[in-house]
């Protein structure tokens, strides 16, 4: 969610709005409107899922403010360290809606608005809640991309203000849908973003989602608010007054990366097959290739172990990518540089082969879905392990036999 430009504006504009409105509590007029704003997905990875925000208008005060829960600061202390640890802090930013709209216009993203059908008292409570939440001491919150983000805030804040009588539309739900399938629906399968996210996230994402969990995506916030109801004086009432498009734009292109992970994976597979063919034909062992292959998969495994066991991310534990990205491979890689391969290597490779053979079983059973762009790597590792098991190791062991 790209709002660094708005952070600069926010520093100045927020000060000015606080000077105008911050000296006394505003009593909204009967002309005030409270809206949920939905923004189309963008072209960058952080914007692929769309965006949601609140908008409050009151022409009597010339008030048109957006309350944006999607602001973060790359320059914050320890930003990347905290991100890795799963302690990413976002904040609620309050600034003129015209800058929000201009930013999305520049990025060519459509903007739709759902005006809430609230009475004056409810509008005032909504406004007071957001104003208090936007204060510096209250604005920051611990971000979670699936359970506590800019989209889920629309649902949660609305329920806090109007009470648990709010019933969101659930006609969009489908049996068997998971957080991962929802995530993948917003990303082309053959992109580095899709690969990275599917690689890093464990099988918590492969559990079937509830209707409210759909609403981590702005698309389903929009659908959830459509036909939603709440109770007023013990009578059911539609939550929305109207829906309108306030900025038109074509949907962002949904395409693979130019240099895609599947393309790179296929090149590595072809290279590996060629090297293996030459090794078999010439009865040799290309040690540097196995060193690179096992060192790189081990390095990926180390990162996944950290994310699974030592970070605060809620969706990285229980990651079955560790079946192929095996962290001990980092050490094993140096064994391949030895003149004689040790006997225990055969049993270690059996373990790796078993892990690789489990992947299609877990994949078909939907225990965890894997990135399709990884399939050439799975094939490469399987072929290379079989080559080592049945061509190199028997020869090595026979040479060591007295």
**pLDDT tens track for 192-251:** 999 999 999 999 999 999 999 999 999 999 999 999 999 988 889 999 999 999 999 998
Confidence grade of residue 400 (pLDDT, cut at 50, 70, 90): low
- pLDDT tens for residues 7-27? 434 443 444 344 344 456 789
Tokens, residue 357: 């053979």
User: What is the pLDDT, as a whole number, of residue 75?
Assistant: 66
**C-alpha distances out from residue 156 to 90, 147, 162, 167, 379, Å:** 16, 11, 10, 12, 45
Kindly provide the residue ranges of all beta strands, DSSP E only, lying in 1-159, ordered along the sequence. Answer: 33-39, 51-58, 63-71, 89-96, 111-116, 140-142
User: What is the pLDDT, as a whole number, of residue 393?
Assistant: 86
Tokens, residue 116: 């809430």
Alpha-helical (H) ranges within 33-173 are 79-85, 97-106, 120-133, 150-162
User: What is the pLDDT, as a whole number, of residue 64?
Assistant: 97
pLDDT at 385 over 90: yes
The kind and range of the H/E element at 242 are strand 240-247
Q: Of 11-15, 70-74, 77-81, 398-402, give the lowest mean pLDDT range.
A: 11-15
Q: Provide the mean pLDDT of the chain.
A: 90
Sequence-distant (≥ 6) Cβ neighbours of residue 140 within 8 angstroms = 89, 90, 91
The SS3 of residue 246 is strand
Nearest residue to 377 via CA among 324, 323, 300: 324
The SS3 of residue 299 is helix
Most confident of 16-25, 28-37, 84-93, 307-316: 28-37
The SS3 of residue 93 is strand
* DSSP label of 178: B
Confidence grade of residue 396 (pLDDT, cut at 50, 70, 90): low
Tokens, residue 118: 């609230």
Tokens, residue 392: 């190199």
Tokens, residue 310: 């030592």
pLDDT at 37 over 80: yes
Strands 111-116 and 51-58 come out as unpaired
- pLDDT tens for residues 40-74? 999 988 899 999 999 999 999 999 999 999 997 76
User: What is the pLDDT, as a whole number, of residue 74?
Assistant: 65
User: What is the pLDDT, as a whole number, of residue 22?
Assistant: 47
- pLDDT tens for residues 110-167? 999 999 999 999 999 999 999 999 999 999 999 999 999 999 999 999 999 998 889 9
- pLDDT tens for residues 251-304? 888 899 999 999 999 999 999 999 999 999 999 999 999 999 999 999 999 999
d(CA 338, CA 302): 23
Total-model pTM: 0.88
d(CA 154, CA 54): 7
């Amino acid at each position: 969610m790209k709002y660094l430009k708005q952070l600069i504006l926010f520093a100045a504009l927020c000060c000015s709005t606080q000077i105008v409105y911050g000296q006394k509590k505003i009593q909204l007029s009967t002309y005030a409107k409270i809206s949920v704003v939905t923004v189309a997905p963008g072209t960058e990875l952080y914007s692929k899922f769309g965006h949601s925000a609140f908008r409050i208008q009151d022409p009597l005060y010339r008030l048109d403010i957006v309350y944006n829960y999607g602001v973060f600061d790359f320059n914050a202390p320890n930003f990347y360290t905290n991100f890795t640890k799963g302690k990413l802090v976002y904040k609620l930013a309050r600034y003129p809606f015209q800058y929000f709209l201009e930013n999305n216009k520049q990025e060519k993203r459509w903007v739709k608005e759902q005006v809430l059908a609230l009475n004056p008292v409810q509008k005032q409570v909504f406004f007071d809640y957001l104003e208090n939440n936007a204060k510096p001491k209250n604005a920051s919150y611990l971000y979670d991309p699936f359970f506590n983000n800019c989209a889920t805030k629309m649902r949660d804040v609305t329920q806090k203000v109007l009470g648990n009588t709010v019933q969101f539309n659930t006609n969009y739900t489908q049996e068997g849908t998971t957080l991962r399938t929802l995530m993948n629906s917003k990303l082309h399968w053959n992109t580095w973003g899709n690969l990275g996210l599917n690689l890093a996230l464990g099988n918590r994402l492969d559990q079937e989602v509830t209707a409210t969990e759909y609403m981590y995506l702005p698309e389903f916030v929009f659908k959830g608010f459509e036909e939603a109801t709440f109770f007023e004086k013990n009578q059911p009432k539609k939550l929305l007054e109207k829906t309108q498009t306030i900025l038109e734009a074509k949907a962002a292109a949904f395409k693979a990366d130019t240099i895609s992970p599947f393309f790179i994976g296929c090149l590595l597979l072809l290279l590996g097959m060629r090297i293996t063919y030459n090794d078999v034909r010439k009865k040799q062992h290309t040690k540097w290739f196995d060193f690179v292959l096992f060192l790189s998969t081990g390095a990926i495994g180390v990162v996944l172990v950290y994310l699974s066991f030592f970070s605060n991310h809620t969706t990285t534990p229980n990651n079955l990518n560790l079946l192929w990205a095996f962290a001990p491979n980092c050490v094993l890689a140096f064994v391949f540089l030895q003149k004689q391969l040790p006997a225990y290597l055969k049993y270690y490779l059996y373990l790796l082969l078993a892990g690789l053979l489990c992947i299609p079983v877990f994949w078909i059973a939907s225990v965890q879905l894997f990135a399709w762009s990884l399939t050439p790597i799975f094939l490469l590792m399987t072929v290379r392990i079989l080559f080592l098991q049945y061509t190199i190791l028997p020869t090595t062991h026979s040479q060591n036999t007295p």
